[in-house]
Structure 1
Amino acid sequence: MIEYLSIDSLGVIGDATVDLDPGFTVVTGETGAGKTMVVTALNLLLGARADAGAVRHGASHATVEAGFRLAAGNAAVGLAEEAGAVLDEVDDEGHDGDAPGRGPGNRSLVVTRSVGAAGGSSRSRASAGGRGVPVALLGEIGGHLVAVHGQTDQLRLKSATAQRHALDAFAGEELATALAAYRRDFDTWRAARAELAEITLHEQDRAREAENLQRALEEIDEADVTPGEDEEVRARIQRLENVEELRAASLGAHAHLAGADVAEAVDVPAAEALVEAARQALLQAPGQDTELTGLAARLAEVGIVLADVSADLAGYAARLDDDAASDLDAAQSRLAELTRLMRLYGPELADVLDWARSHRARLDELQGDSGRIVELTEQCERLEAAVLAGAAELTRLRTAAAQDLSGQVTKELHALSMPDATFHASVTGGGEPGPHGADDVALLLQPHAGSAPRPLGKGASGGELSRVMLALEVVLAATDPVPTFVFDEVDAGVGGEAAVQIGRRLARLAQHVQVIVVTHLPQVAAFADRHLKVTKDSDSDAGFTTSDVQTLEGEDRVEELARMLAGRAGSGSARDHARELLEASHA
């Protein structure tokens, strides 16, 4: 609901702030006083196009602001928070949610809109919760908060989507359950159809992909690579490329340790023999000197190590056989093969193996296309039957609800001084199934017998259309409400008992939602819980007119109703009639 509305320099209103309560609020005033500026201000807050001509003469810009109280589940909360708006938490009585002893409840949102004057430097700006937002976002937020029904603009239930949603909400739980089941079948059917189309449309491409994958995986499998094998092959290549130098080095070292071969002419002292000679010299020393004995033992250990190294060198040289050239060719060929695989699927051998693992599952999927096509075809046929049956059930339920809605709204129209009008909620089934069924829903008005039903807004005047929307909102109030309804001149062209019926129905609607009505009929104003009057003060010498908004109570309200009845507030009979209207409406 709207908690307050503040208007600054809009039209004839210089500066006015009004507090609004739940229930039925009426706005009255003399012609030209500026009653419509209240609706204009609300429309600006709902994202309507800004008119620089509406800025008060002499002002650089006009500003309107409203405080909204939102239920926690209202979609406007999410829209505002996504835009960065700050929303305060309040309980059901309007107290701050963090006040002592009070828990969080509803949310409070402040929305502002400013409009620059023609020729000025100020531009139209909008904010929600203290954060600047696009004007279009105000329209999205406002669509969940306020429904405006004016003489020239019936904002609510304008689109086919909104009309279908209203009918579905009116139909109740049975249709909601059927619609939820239908959507589950429809979503599954749509996904299965998309997958089947993808497979069949690209069948040749998928076959080529499978063939290429098969060759690649076979190539990797035949190569039988292991992680790090490329480094091992590089090391082997390096050794084989230097085989002669390695053999000479190992044999030379062996000769120094073990002595030259007897066939060799070179006289090379053997390290092993020298160490052994040194050990023997120590052992031949006189006495049992413990230090020399220890050194002799250490030389024995050195001799053992030298013997082991000598044997290893001999073995290393022996392994450098005469087949080194062929081994080098094989190693280089293996490295070339590994390098090619890494270039295609790498960059490392481990990556090649990971690629093979991940694409093996894709190959299994592609090779199973034939079976998957059969499976999906059967699934689509089964789901299509379920979707068509669900759509037919939705059509049946909507048609029944449409008949009930049509009867109730038509009855309301007859009581609202439209005795020849007939309301039609039309449901046309059998279309292409979609997320919401296969129905086209349209709300139509037949103004009088013999005329063809036409879409809302195309067969009625502004006042008649406002009454149609009032009748419709009264019927839908308990099932598909927005928090606040605004009616501008809903009573145009009626009077007498019809006006009383309009007031009664507005009061009935206000039992479910907040209702704000701009009216010139006292019969309607008498039913309001709160009465606002727009007053005009003209200063011919200063050359401007100023309007203000006042809250009327007690005798002030009686006086305003008397003015509306008789054209002047001082009439005694008019004042008596005004009191009678108030007593009757309260009763």
Structure 2
Amino acid sequence: MLTALSIRDVVLIERLDLAFGNGLTVLTGETGAGKSILLDSLGLALGARAETGLVRISAEQASVTACFSPPDDHSVMAVLDEHGLAAEDEIVLRRIVTKDGRSRAFVNDHPVGVGLLRRIGALLVEVQGQHEQMSLADPASHAGLLDAFSVPATLRTAVAESWRVWRDALAILEKARDAIAAAERDEEWLRHAVEELATLAPRIGEEETLARERQRLQQSERRAEAIAAALAELTPRDRRNSGPAASLRAAVRSLQRLAPSGQPEAGGNPADPAMAALERAEESLAEAETLLTRLIADADVDPRLLEQSEERLFALRASARKHGVAVPDLPALLDTLAARLGALENGAAEITVLEQAARDGRDRYVAAAKALSAARHAAAGKLQKAVAKELPPLRLDKARFFAEVGVLPDTAWGPNGTDQVRFLIATNPGQEPGPLARVASGGELSRLMLAMKVVLSAGSAVPTLVFDEVDSGIGGATAAAVGERLVRVAEGVQVLVVTHSPQVAARGAAHLRVAKAAARDRTATTVEHLAPPDRREEIARMLAGEIISDAARAAADDLLRGQRPTQGLLV
């Protein structure tokens, strides 16, 4: 419900803060006092069109803030969650309009577009005036209102669920048909790709394994090449170069000539140490050659293995590039293409099964929709009778209300069933029933809407209703009947009513008086919550006019006690 309304610099209102409670709140005041300004301000916060004339003359901008406290399960919560605007305790709508006509909108202090503000506002408040039409005049809302009035929720749930199952079956069928059609268009390519990939037979994780094996073989090959190069340096490479071993032996022979021939007494060969070192070097060289030869034998490098690994790896990568996927995705691609080819080959049988599932889904939906339709026809009869009882006291005794349940074309079926529900009215005998919005008189439309709200208020999703002069042009017993029905509606939702009728004003749980006063060459509109004594005076003024007599006060007391006035004052 609406809990608070703050208005700053709107037309004649400089600063105004109002609090609202449950039940029926009445707003009264003389003509021109500014009651319409209050409704325009509330409309501004709800997303109505911003007019530059709303900004007070001496101000740069106008602002209106409306605070709401809807039920936790209200549909507005889903809209707030959808846009990241959820609030724990209340919903705050704010609108700012500058002198040049620009406006800004806020929900829970977050800037939003006016369209979203209007959408949220429509879920929170419904305004019915002489020229505005409440949601009851919108045929799109009629099926939901009729259902809420007297249709079991289980029937609606069954229809919505069967609709979902049927649409899912149709979607699966359509997807299968599209897949087969695409496969047929690409059949030749598809067969070639499957054959090619099947021949390649990619395996999961194969690229990583091949890459590691290739790296290992390349390292082994580089080691073998280094060993072979070292060994080549130790062994003769041609006749002119006999190698380091032969060079060592030749050096030894040369040093042996240093011993004096035939003179052993002269001592040993002075080059013996050097020759011994050369002999050891020759032995080490022979040992190194043996070790290197053994390493070459142990390496067992097979160039064909590296070549085969690289060929496999490059083939996988080339295939991946060709199909625009990563190498690890090739096995899945083969499965997908094979499935498409299989669907093409087995498509007719699959389509037959899916078509039957779709037909079964439609049959279940139609059966559920028929049950819902029967319940709606029964509910329509009850609704017509209930509304008919409310019309005579509201001076609509000649009016006839109809709840029409028709059949929608197949293309318009949906989760709410196959019915087209319309509320129609004929205000005069012999007149053809027509849409509610085409009722000629604004007053008749307002009272009709009130009668329907009395009957349908239990199913209303909007927590706050605003009636602007619903009692226009009526008085006496009819006005009293309007007040009584407003109280009944207010038992289920919050109701605000702008009224000139003392019979209506006396029924309010709260009473606001709107007044206009001039001070220091400035005119301002004020709003006052009336205590019981002041309320009595206001209702007496509404009864008697400018001069309030004791008889008017007595009549006001009667109205406040819920009685018909004992004095004949405008009743």
TM-score, normalised with respect to structure 1: 0.78
SS of the counterpart of 1:125? strand
User: Does 2:76 correspond to 1:76?
Assistant: yes
Cα displacement (A) at 1:302: 11
Alpha-carbon contact 1:560-1:569 (below 8 Å) kept: no
SS of the counterpart of 2:448? helix
Aligned pair in 2 of structure 1 residues 268, 412: CA closer, same or farther (>3 Å)? same
Alpha-carbon contact 2:180-2:340 (below 8 Å) kept: no
SS of the counterpart of 2:418? coil
User: Does 2:177 correspond to 1:200?
Assistant: yes
SS of the counterpart of 1:178? helix
Aligned pair in 2 of structure 1 residues 356, 305: CA closer, same or farther (>3 Å)? farther
Cα displacement (A) at 1:239: 11
Q: Deviations over 1:370-395 (max 9, x none)?
A: 22201111111111111221222221
**What residue number does 1:283 align with?**
none
**What residue number does 1:7 align with?**
7
Alpha-carbon contact 1:69-1:108 (below 8 Å) kept: yes
User: Does 2:534 correspond to 1:581?
Assistant: no
Matches within 5 A, 1:316-465: 337=315, 340-345=318-323, 349-357=327-335, 359-432=337-410, 433-465=413-445
**What residue number does 2:269 align with?**
none
Q: For residue 151 of structure 1, what is the amino acid of its counterpart? A: Q
Q: For residue 146 of structure 1, what is the amino acid of its counterpart? A: V
Aligned pair in 2 of structure 1 residues 472, 251: CA closer, same or farther (>3 Å)? closer
Measured in 2, the distance between the counterparts of 1:347 and 1:192 equals 32
User: Does 2:86 correspond to 1:109?
Assistant: no
Aligned pair in 2 of structure 1 residues 231, 580: CA closer, same or farther (>3 Å)? closer
Measured in 1, the distance between the counterparts of 2:134 and 2:284 equals 105
Measured in 2, the distance between the counterparts of 1:17 and 1:419 equals 41
Measured in 2, the distance between the counterparts of 1:328 and 1:478 equals 82
Runs of at least 5 residues in structure 1 that lack an aligned partner in the other structure: 90-106, 274-298
Cα displacement (A) at 1:6: 2.3
**What residue number does 2:18 align with?**
18
Matches within 5 A, 1:57-72: 57-72=57-72
Measured in 2, the distance between the counterparts of 1:81 and 1:585 equals 48
Q: 1:310 aligns with which of 274, 290, 293?
A: 293
Cα displacement (A) at 1:489: 0.6
- Which deviates the most, 577-586 or 357-366? 357-366
Measured in 1, the distance between the counterparts of 2:18 and 2:461 equals 24
Identity percentage over the alignment? Answer: 35
Q: 2:104 aligns with which of 100, 122, 125?
A: 125
Alpha-carbon contact 1:24-1:507 (below 8 Å) kept: yes
State the aligned residue count.
529
Alpha-carbon contact 2:483-2:504 (below 8 Å) kept: yes
Q: Deviations over 1:535-555 (max 9, x none)?
A: 12246x82x432211111222
Alpha-carbon contact 1:178-1:393 (below 8 Å) kept: yes
Measured in 1, the distance between the counterparts of 2:288 and 2:329 equals 44
Measured in 1, the distance between the counterparts of 2:40 and 2:297 equals 106
Cα displacement (A) at 1:353: 3.9
Cα displacement (A) at 1:74: 2.0
User: Does 2:135 correspond to 1:156?
Assistant: yes
Aligned pair in 2 of structure 1 residues 300, 389: CA closer, same or farther (>3 Å)? farther
Q: For residue 127 of structure 1, what is the amino acid of its counterpart? A: F
**What residue number does 2:164 align with?**
187
Cα displacement (A) at 1:476: 1.2
Alpha-carbon contact 1:24-1:529 (below 8 Å) kept: yes
Q: For residue 138 of structure 1, what is the amino acid of its counterpart? A: L
User: Does 2:521 correspond to 1:549?
Assistant: no
Runs of at least 5 residues in structure 2 that lack an aligned partner in the other structure: 250-281, 566-571
**What residue number does 1:33 align with?**
33
Cα displacement (A) at 1:487: 0.4
Cα displacement (A) at 1:584: 1.9
Measured in 2, the distance between the counterparts of 1:560 and 1:437 equals 51
**What residue number does 2:481 align with?**
501
Measured in 1, the distance between the counterparts of 2:101 and 2:401 equals 46
Measured in 2, the distance between the counterparts of 1:86 and 1:235 equals 60
Cα displacement (A) at 1:193: 1.9
- Which deviates the most, 14-23 or 440-449? 14-23
- Which deviates the most, 375-384 or 70-79? 70-79
TM-score, normalised with respect to structure 2: 0.81
Cα displacement (A) at 1:530: 0.9
Q: Deviations over 1:245-270 (max 9, x none)?
A: 97x9849938947x999x99958749
The CA RMSD measured in Å over matched residues stands at 4.1
Measured in 1, the distance between the counterparts of 2:100 and 2:408 equals 55
- Which deviates the most, 456-465 or 122-131? 122-131
Aligned pair in 2 of structure 1 residues 218, 12: CA closer, same or farther (>3 Å)? same
Alpha-carbon contact 1:26-1:530 (below 8 Å) kept: yes
Cα displacement (A) at 1:314: 6.2
**What residue number does 2:115 align with?**
136
Cα displacement (A) at 1:86: 6.9
Q: For residue 466 of structure 1, what is the amino acid of its counterpart? A: S
Aligned pair in 2 of structure 1 residues 76, 569: CA closer, same or farther (>3 Å)? farther
**What residue number does 2:45 align with?**
45
